[in-house]
Chain A
């Protein structure tokens, strides 16, 4: 069975600082991995996804994530935070089960950006 753990329900950074949001997963087979972003009062938007191609995945808005099989991690990073990055971020993992690939979502990490 798959599961997702996002370390830290809140992460606070200063504008211009490195953003690091952690995601660890458990999966019995090579998974598909995703990061979604949710701005206030909006639905989730796909940031990036890993589907067994390059282990370093680049997404929108300058975010990227690296798939590390040995650590079962898929951490999200951005070199320099902007005020507009303040949002809720969700990691999701998907593996094949009965012909479907229904993802499991983490509980989310709220990114707070200070001026």
Chain B
């Protein structure tokens, strides 16, 4: 049982480049989330999805896009990368609602230079 799998684990981007962070879960969870974690700031919600075809903005969506074509996959797209997007990105999933608690992936460490 793999849980939540994120790829890549590390990436360095140049300013203005684009990339997609991949997230896949094999627990048949309906709810999926993308967070960014910056030192001393906790986790900030970027986007979330309550099921295939449904996405919604979180607290810090600017500069990001998501899609949810299947229950399993929830990729996060960065267009025109900026230094402010240097962070650690976590994907998470939950059964039904977040009251069940999240299962997190191991993270993607992104540096924009």
Contacts and interface: CB of A to CB of B under 8 A. Distances in A.
Interface of A: 9, 32, 34, 36, 41-46, 49, 51, 90, 94, 100-103, 105-108
Contacts of A90: 42-43
A44 B106 contact: no
A105 to B, nearest CB: 4
Contacts of B97: 100-101
Nearest to A106: B42
A66 to B, nearest CB: 18
A34 B42 CA distance: 14
Interface residues of B, number: 23
A41 B106 CA distance: 7
A34 B105 contact: no
A101 B98 CA distance: 6
A99 B102 CA distance: 17
A70 to B, nearest CB: 23
Contacts of B33: 102
Contact of A49 (B40, B42, B90, B101): B101
A44 B90 contact: yes
B45 A102 contact: yes
B50 A107 contact: no
A88 to B, nearest CB: 10
Given A51-B99, A101-B97, A102-B58, A42 B106 contact: yes
B74 interface: no
A108 B42 contact: yes
Interface in B84-106: 90, 92, 97-99, 101-106
